[in-house]
Amino acid sequence: MTKAILALNAGSSSIKFAAYRVDREYPGLSLICRGLLDRHASSAGFTIKDAVGKILDQAQSASGDQTDPMSSLLPQLQRILGKDVLTAVGHRIVHGGARFSAPILIQGDVLQQLDALTPLAPLHQPACLAPIRVLQRARPELAQVACFDTAFHRDMPSVYKRLPIPDIRDDIHRYGFHGLSFEYVAAQIGDPQKRTVIAHLGNGSSVCALQNGRSINTSMSLTPLDGLMMATRSGAIDPGLLLYLLESKGLSTQELKDLLYRESGLVGVSGVSSDMRTLLSASDQRSRLAVDQFCARAAEYIAVMAVSLGGLDRLVFTGGIGENSSQVRSEICYRIRWLGIELEEIENERSSSTISRPRCQIKVQVVPTDEEAMIAKHILLLLPSRL
Ligand code: ADP
């Protein structure tokens, strides 16, 4: 009997997932299938593909169907797994707070503690905790593991960890996010002695400074709102603006939350879309400004990370935008060309693994991320005796 594990990466409106067979031999895991579960009311359903990308199964929920798409996914998945027994499920959990800085089995009061962190990631935390509850009801025998996006940044030095405010509480400090993505990419690129900045550019975006393979600074902070401009999030913003909107413009905290998390960033500036592909193909001035601002912000933060590292040997792009948009990579790199970055545009157009000129001192790379693979690896490390 072979065992299988499932990695779930739940966002606010979709869940990426991947199932792996547990092998006795190195590397210990082989991909069985991966897919996307869409939770938008209008298009709820799922797609499952095999290890080489061939569609294995696809289903749309009937309109008005109140069943959680997660519960309808399980039987389909079991059909694909065949005789492989699903033994454990790992979840990407956005915020681990002060208590959780390494993967952990979800038992006792863990879920309750994670729920309590919702104010620090109001869109993401409920979304990534919801599938845990569905699975606890549907498959109580499954071991469920929480893998934290904040964990990779746990050893940031105080100079970058501390917020420049008086002591309020121990748990109020800079955490950083996208840790599973940064950890995966760091393992792919090797050469930990190189001073490296990883730019994860997707709907959520952040950059991370790696010294000896470890995160020493990152652009997100206590919450996933800080730093780069994102699809619908503002990124760093004058804190005085928040006071002004609350005190003088009469915004409620809910309105402020909606403004900062859902209505700002690319969609706020363009007034058109939060999707980079749409904006790159649009010709109106506001869409152009949104793209320019996105690139300018990303370039600024890459330079900030280079300051943390005392220089830069390598820049790595990842995430949906970072992996696929040669135009965005080119615009960002142009803005930091003074650091010594020069792109080989043909390689950039092809999204090759190395896109800098051969003699350029700073190597620029494109590395596809795989948060699900990282989650699976953590399950394997945490539960060797069960698998
Ligand atoms: P998430 O943060 O939700 O995981 P992704 O990493 O999948 O998001 O990134 C989604 C973003 O990637 C969208 O803005 C999408 O337009 C962008 N994207 C995907 N493919 C391309 C492409 N070929 N060119 C430009 N942008 C792209």
Q: Where are the domains of the chain?
A: 3-148, 191-366
Residue 224 exposed, middle or buried by CB count within 10 Å (0-12, 13-18, 19+): buried
pTM: 0.96
Same fold, 3-148 and 191-366: yes
Q: Buried b vs exposed e over 340-359: b needs ≥16 C-beta within 10 Å?
A: ebbbbeebbeebeeebbbee
Question: What's the CA-to-centroid distance between 52 and ligand 1, angstroms?
Answer: 21
Q: Looking at the predicted structure, is the pLDDT value of residue 67 above 70? A: no
**pLDDT at 364 (0 to 100):** 98
Closest ligand 1 atom to Cα of 328: 25
pLDDT in tens, 99-121: 999 999 999 999 999 999 999 99
Peptide bond into 27 cis (omega under 30): yes
Higher pLDDT, 72 or 325: 325
Question: What's the CA-to-centroid distance between 183 and ligand 1, angstroms?
Answer: 20
Options 68, 149, 226, 370, the catalytic residue: 149
Is 65 tagged catalytic? no
Give the percent of the chain with pLDDT over 70: 98
- Alpha carbon distance 175, 210 (integer Å): 15
Do residues 155 and 182 make contact, with C-beta atoms less than 8 angstroms apart?
Answer: no
Superfamily of domain covering 3-148: ATPase, nucleotide binding domain (3.30.420.40)
Question: What's the CA-to-centroid distance between 103 and ligand 1, angstroms?
Answer: 27
Within 10 angstroms of residue 95's Cβ, the number of other Cβ atoms is 23
Q: What is the DSSP string of 16-27?
A: EEEEEEEPSSTT
Closest residue by CA, ligand 1 atom 27:
321
- Alpha carbon distance 292, 155 (integer Å): 33
Residues with CB under 6 A from ligand 1: 11, 202-204, 231, 275-277, 280, 319-321, 324-325
- pLDDT category of residue 263 using cuts at 50, 70 and 90: very high
Question: What's the CA-to-centroid distance between 321 and ligand 1, angstroms?
Answer: 4
Closest ligand 1 atom to Cα of 203: 2
Mutate to test the pocket of ligand 1, among 277, 295, 349 (most ligand atoms within 8 A of CB): 277
pLDDT in tens, 159-203: 999 999 998 877 999 999 999 999 999 999 999 999 999 999 999
**pLDDT at 59 (0 to 100):** 82
**pLDDT at 65 (0 to 100):** 64
Show the beta-strand stretches assigned E in the chain. 3-10, 14-22, 29-38, 45-50, 55-60, 85-93, 104-105, 143-148, 196-201, 205-211, 214-218, 314-318, 363-366
Closest residue by CA, ligand 1 atom 12:
320
Q: Looking at the predicted structure, is the pLDDT value of residue 41 above 70? A: no
Q: Supply φ then ψ for residue 273, to 5 degrees.
A: -160, 155
Question: What's the CA-to-centroid distance between 324 and ligand 1, angstroms?
Answer: 7
Closest ligand 1 atom to Cα of 205: 2
pLDDT in tens, 276-322: 999 999 999 999 999 999 999 999 999 999 999 999 999 999 999 99
Closest ligand 1 atom to Cα of 280: 25
**pLDDT at 114 (0 to 100):** 98
**pLDDT at 63 (0 to 100):** 61
What value, to the nearest 5°, has the Cα angle with vertex 233 and ends 229 and 237? 65
pLDDT in tens, 140-151: 999 999 999 999
Superfamily of domain covering 191-366: ATPase, nucleotide binding domain (3.30.420.40)
